[in-house]
Amino acid sequence: MTGGLKVYYVPWRPFIMQNTFPTIYGLLPIMRTILIRERITIVHGHQAFSTLCHEALMHARTMGYKVVFTDHSLYGFADAGSIHMNKVLQFTLADVSQAICVSHTSKENTVLRSGLPPQKVFVIPNAVDTSMFKPAVERPSRSEIVIVVISRLVYRKGTDLLVEVIPEVCRLNPNVRFIIGGDGPKRVRLEEMREKHSLQDRVEMLGAVPHAQVRPVLVSGHIFLNSSLTEAFCIAILEAASCGLLTVSTRVGGVPEVLPDDMIVLAEPDPSDMVHAVQKAISILPSIDPQVMHNRMKELYNWQDVAKRTEIVYDHALKCSNQSTLERLSRYLSCGPWAGKVFCFVMMVGFLLWQLLELWQPADDIEEVPDVSFSHNCDEEMLQKNQWNEEE
């Protein structure tokens, strides 16, 4: 327990991409115990591809809890994976209390994929810890312009675009150097590009960069380059802007909503347009003041504001009226002629298993955690006393 935050490590081994194997009902016993033991009022799940999230929300609704879902990503409608995932999301969100998206583009995408009423979806952007991401005391010399790329080196992040953009930018600007942080299956393409164009001394490959080391990498550069092909928000450009870097990014997803026009240069996900955007960024670089950018980011994005707006969503969720089992069944049936029946069956089996657990281990037999509000008040009183002593 740290500052009122308690973490449970559920004994489910990761299956693929840090996701647990979908069990549908396997999580129900331990979720029920945690929810009762901790006297939970709201269950908040994140990420559409998290099986743990989907199962937790499903079981929480079965037990009558209010649930909130946050979607952080954009997904398509054509490939097989997206089609199946969208159907699962439709099932999960059919009975959700409220939902949060990180951008207006993300909201539109989630509403279209899930069939969720738009009035249930709030838009709350991500934020950045500006106390961690500060500009360097002494900015790097402009005699050599350093362009920083920190990203997972995968197709979705536009690594193939970088392979074509970097050699052309280096050809047009002899004083430009690239620093690339990140790892992934597309790293080999960047290394081949570097060898092919003899750019070993101008393209530095750092490999995977721990989050604690991101800021030192960012402050060593002047421009941050983001080549994503799809992006709901992109926290990376917030961190870069907070460090005083001018951003060049592809005009995709929710990226145009993130930064003011004078702090970012947008381009279509096309090599020639991206090269043009980099050239434009280099030309306006002398007018950029890193400290001014940092101060603006401090006002625009902070986690305290995100917390306040999230509390509003929780208040709306708590005010939602409880629905009967028949009302819930009708919502699942509306998910499709065949899928709706499957969803109803899944929900009814979960309800029966929950009732069996209630008989096997009644809720009254589960020990609830003691109220920690008293100890928190004591901590606050101690802090106040220490402040008074310091003032005296």
The residues that bridge with 43 in the sheet, in sequence order, are 67
In the chain, domain spans: 14-127+305-370, 145-301
- What CATH fold (topology level) applies to the domain 145-301? Rossmann fold (3.40.50)
Q: In the 8-state DSSP scheme, what is residue 254?
A: T
Interval 166-208: pLDDT, tens: 999 999 999 999 999 999 999 999 999 999 999 999 999 999 9
Model's pTM, two decimal places?
0.85
Strand (E) positions, the chain? 14-16, 19-20, 42-46, 66-71, 98-101, 121-123, 145-150, 176-181, 203-207, 223-226, 246-250, 264-267
Query: Do residues 126 and 259 lie in contact, with contact meaning Cβ atoms separated by under 8 Å?
Result: no
Burial 44-83 (b: 16+ CB within 10 A, else e): bbeebbbbbbbbbbbbbbbbebbbbbbbbbbbeeeeeebe
- Predicted confidence (pLDDT) per residue in 200-254, tens digit: 999 999 999 998 899 999 999 999 999 999 999 999 999 999 999 999 999 999 9
What is the radius of gyration, based on Cα positions, of the chain? 25
pLDDT in tens, 17-30: 778 888 889 999 99
Report the pLDDT value the prediction gives residue 124, as an integer from 0 to 100: 95
- Assigned architecture for domain 14-127+305-370: 3-Layer(aba) Sandwich (3.40)
- Ordered alpha helix ranges (H), 256-302: 271-284, 290-300
The vertex-168 CA angle with 164 and 172, nearest 5°, equals: 170
The CA-based angle 289-290-293, given to 5 degrees, is: 90
- The domains spanning 14-127+305-370 and 145-301 adopt the same CATH topology: yes
* Structural tokens at position 25: 């009902």
User: How confident is the model at residue 104, as a pLDDT?
Assistant: 94
- pLDDT under 50 in the chain at which residues? 374
Q: At what angle do helices 104-114 and 80-93 cross, to 10 degrees?
A: 90
pLDDT of residue 351: 92
Cα atoms in the 13 Å half-sphere on the side-chain side of 361: 12
